[in-house]
C-alpha cells in the first residue's frame, strides 16, 4: 500500500523533479513537504557543491528514508510494481539490466556536464555577482555534445534509450535536459541539432507526468521567487 509516501524538497530541484515524475508515472499518492535549502547567504562553493540550486530530495515511507533520487525511483518501482505505468523499470531481467546500464551512464557521465550547464546557463544569469564561466561552459558543452552523439546513434535504432518503451533510463535524464533546453538557444541546440535526440526529447518531455512536474515548478518556483 502506498500510504505515507513523503518527499521533502522543492519541485525546482532536479533531484526532486526526478522523484516527482516517477511518482506521477506510478500514479502514487504522496505528500510534498517543501523545504528551502538555498539561501542568498550561502557561499558560492557550497552552492555549487549541491549540484543543483535547491538540494537533494529526501524520501520517506514509513521507517524507510532514502536521499538519492535514482535510488528512490528504483524503490518506488520495485515496491509498487503493479501501480500506474508498469514498464518504468522493465518487465524482465534483461530489460532491467539495460535500464540499469543507462541509469549508471546518466549518473556517472551525463549528470556532471549537464549539471554544470544547468548552473551556468540556467541559473547563473539570475544570480547577482555570478557570471557564467565561459571556459567551463565550453568544456562541458563539448562533453555533452559527444555523449549525445552516442545517444543519437542508439536512438536511431530504438524508440527510447533502453528499447521501445519509456523507462527510468529516459525519465532520469529529464530534469537536467529540461533546464538546458529551456535556458537559451545555445542549450536548446544541444538537443535539437541531432534528429533522433530531438525526437526522443520531444517525446519524453511531453509525457503527462513531466507536464505535472512543470506545473508544480511554476506554482512553486523556489530559488528565484
Q: What is the pLDDT of residues 40-72, one digit of tens each?
A: 433 333 333 333 444 678 999 999 999 999 999
CATH number for the domain that contains residue 147: 1.20.1050.10
**In the chain, what is the straight-line distance between the N-terminal and C-terminal CA atoms, in Å?**
36
Of 53, 87, 121, the last residue of a domain is: 87
Domain identity same for 118 and 143? yes
pLDDT band at 123 (very low <50, low <70, confident <90, very high): confident
pTM comes to 0.87
Domain limits for position 158: 93-210
Using an 8 Å Cβ cutoff, are 202 and 155 in contact? no
Of 59, 87, 115, the last residue of a domain is: 87
Domain identity same for 188 and 153? yes
pLDDT on residue 110: 96
Q: Is residue 123 assigned to a domain?
A: yes
Q: Is residue 159 assigned to a domain?
A: yes
Domain identity same for 53 and 98? no
**What is the average per-residue pLDDT within 78-84?**
96
Question: How would you list the strands of the sheet with 31-33, edge to edge?
Answer: 31-33, 5-8, 58-61, 64-66
- With a cut of 80, say whether residue 35 has pLDDT above it: no
- With a cut of 60, say whether residue 9 has pLDDT above it: yes
Percentage, residues of the chain above pLDDT 90: 72
CATH number for the domain that contains residue 14: 3.40.30.10
Domain identity same for 199 and 102? yes
Domain identity same for 103 and 197? yes
Of 41, 58, 87, the last residue of a domain is: 87
Q: How many domains does the chain have?
A: 2
Amino acid at each position: 500500500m502506498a500510504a505515507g509516501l513523503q518527499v521533502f524538497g522543492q519541485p525546482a530541484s532536479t533531484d526532486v523533479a526526478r522523484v516527482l515524475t516517477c511518482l506521477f508515472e506510478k500514479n502514487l499518492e504522496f505528500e510534498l513537504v517543501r523545504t528551502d535549502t538555498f539561501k542568498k547567504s550561502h557561499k558560492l562553493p557550497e552552492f555549487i557543491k549541491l549540484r543543483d540550486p535547491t538540494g537533494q530530495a529526501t524520501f520517506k515511507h514509513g521507517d524507510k528514508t532514502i536521499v538519492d533520487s535514482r535510488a528512490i525511483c528504483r524503490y518506488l518501482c520495485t515496491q509498487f510494481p503493479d501501480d500506474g505505468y508498469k514498464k518504468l523499470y522493465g518487465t524482465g531481467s534483461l530489460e532491467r539490466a539495460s535500464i540499469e546500464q543507462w541509469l549508471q551512464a546518466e549518473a556517472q557521465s551525463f549528470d556532471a556536464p549537464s549539471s554544470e550547464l544547468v548552473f551556468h546557463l540556467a541559473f547563473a544569469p539570475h544570480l547577482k555577482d555570478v557570471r557564467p564561466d565561459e571556459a567551463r561552459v565550453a568544456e562541458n558543452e563539448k562533453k555533452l555534445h559527444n555523449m549525445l552523439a552516442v545517444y543519437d546513434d542508439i536512438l536511431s535504432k530504438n524508440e527510447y534509450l533502453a528499447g521501445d518503451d519509456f523507462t527510468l533510463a529516459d525519465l532520469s535524464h529529464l530534469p537536467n535536459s529540461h533546464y538546458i533546453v529551456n535556458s537559451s538557444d545555445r542549450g536548446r541546440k544541444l538537443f535539437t541539432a541531432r534528429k533522433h535526440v530531438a525526437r526522443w526529447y520531444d517525446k519524453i518531455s511531453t509525457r503527462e507526468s513531466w507536464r505535472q512536474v512543470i506545473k508544480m515548478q511554476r506554482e512553486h518556483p523556489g530559488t528565484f521567487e
